[in-house]
Amino acid sequence: MSGHWKNLFYSIHLLLIGIPFLILVNCNQTENDYNISSKPNFVLFVADDAGWHDVGYHGSEIKTPNIDKLANSGVELNQFYVYPTCSPSRAALLTGKYASRFGIGEPIAMKSEQVLPTNVKTLPEALKQVGYQTALTGKWHLGLSLESGPGHYGFDYTYGYLHGQIDQYTHRYKNGDRTWYRGNEFIDEKGHATDLITNEVINYITKVREKSSPFFIYVAYSVPHYPLQEEDKWIEPYKNINDADSRKLFDASMAHMDFSIGRIIQTLEDEKLLENTIAIFISDNGGQESWYPEKESKIKLYDGKFGPYPKLGDNSPLKGYKAELYEGGIRVPAIIFWKNHLKHNKVEQLIKVTDLFPTLTSLVDSSLTQSLDLDGENMWDFISIEEQINEEREIYYRIPDQFALRRGDWKLIHFGNTLGEGREELFNLKNDPNETKNVVKDYPKVRNELFKALENQINLDSGY
């Protein structure tokens, strides 16, 4: 569907469903004349390392009634793709660009000074242009110092931690560094990170925010990423499951997060905000298979208090885990919920994490992204219409030692530091969604086309 026809189709759809914040704007108004209170709020929930089969509505043993309710009442994005690790996914989410454009291909860790460039416009910065308040509670992971924290990238209100993982109670990073902060200073607090992040969101919604302005809240949980620490009340429902103890802890952390998401949704309901709030739930990458701390570092991580965890996330029936470009590492649970605006639906269209930026901003002012040269596209047509519309799309990955490109049903993975070395695997995801058969030798023409597209994408990257 061309851009022209997409825009026409979208305009007709808006008239049909009667979204008031758009149809009440007449053609003589400027952006400053918009009725700011009628714009939708956005609450974006991001789980850390939740796999495809780690939510109840995908058949998991984990009880996630609140996430399931969002899925059963909202739109399930059944082919939603992120990066196989956290920093690249978060960079792509906030910028609408592939993370490799900034040289971000893996988690920013330990003493790294790598940061998201400050000269790239972010989603919160764009929303601020049209009157939004912006807040982040939880994980940042795009710069490990206060000088490169989210307050420098468009967030007005910031709280949580800068690194990629933490002890849930001491809130320290794996090498002992302080990372828990509020605004521009490190702080010490008591409590489980899941509860603290949730309480902060609720406090922001009920007390902190300016009530006359719309808001964007990025709620980035620390779980179910290791290390896992949960009270008995969360573990009890899983004690008798015939599985590894580490998996039971993982289940408990997911259930704890689900309960917390329910608290936030109920707060929005109590404050009479839910009907004008778009809630989104995603995971930042697929589930991690296991964690053996002695294999990760020569230093004693978390003073040796945690692990090993022989079993963590579950991506079945998808192949692969976190840090891999197989489907289990990059295809994740994703939901968009908007009470009384979106009907329950399952969307099979390929949607990328880079699409969130242009899709959300299209609901308030499509001109916000016109000059940004994004890798994502506005996918609201596909999300909001019950009738299935499928369009062949392309998605590109570049991480250390691996490249991948999907076009339509075909997916090519190149294993190697450069395209000039290594080996390749080709899959047809329509016929083989679980990537059981490498057909690279059977379809040389398809392989060559995807390989050429990979070369073209690599030429657009910088920072490597």
| Helix 245-270, helix 193-203: angle, nearest 10 | 10
CA dihedral sign, ordered 53, 58, 61, 64? positive
Distance separating alpha carbons of residues 133 and 155, to the nearest angstrom: 8
Distance separating alpha carbons of residues 281 and 310, to the nearest angstrom: 27
Q: Compute how many other C-beta atoms are within 10 angstroms of the C-beta atom of residue 288.
A: 23
Q: Please indicate whether residue 141 is annotated as part of the active site.
A: yes
Distance separating alpha carbons of residues 64 and 251, to the nearest angstrom: 10
Distance separating alpha carbons of residues 348 and 433, to the nearest angstrom: 13
Tell me how far the alpha carbon of residue 2 is from its chain's centroid: 27
Burial 183-220 (b: 16+ CB within 10 A, else e): eeeeeeeeebbbebbbbbbbebbeeebeeeebbbbbbb
Catalytic pick among 27, 53, 58, 86? 86
Tell me how far the alpha carbon of residue 3 is from its chain's centroid: 25
Alpha helices in 37-192 (DSSP H): 65-73, 86-95, 123-129
Tell me how far the alpha carbon of residue 84 is from its chain's centroid: 11
Of 217, 216, 211, 197, the closest CA to residue 271 belongs to 211
> Do 213 and 132 meet the contact criterion of CB atoms below 8 Å apart?
yes
> Do 414 and 422 meet the contact criterion of CB atoms below 8 Å apart?
yes
Indicate the pairing of strand 423-428 with strand 410-415. antiparallel
Q: Please indicate whether residue 86 is annotated as part of the active site.
A: yes
Catalytic pick among 53, 58, 141, 163? 141
Distance separating alpha carbons of residues 276 and 341, to the nearest angstrom: 9
Distance separating alpha carbons of residues 463 and 101, to the nearest angstrom: 7
User: How big is the chain, counted in residues?
Assistant: 464
Distance separating alpha carbons of residues 331 and 78, to the nearest angstrom: 8
Distance separating alpha carbons of residues 72 and 285, to the nearest angstrom: 22
> Which residues form the catalytic set?
86, 141
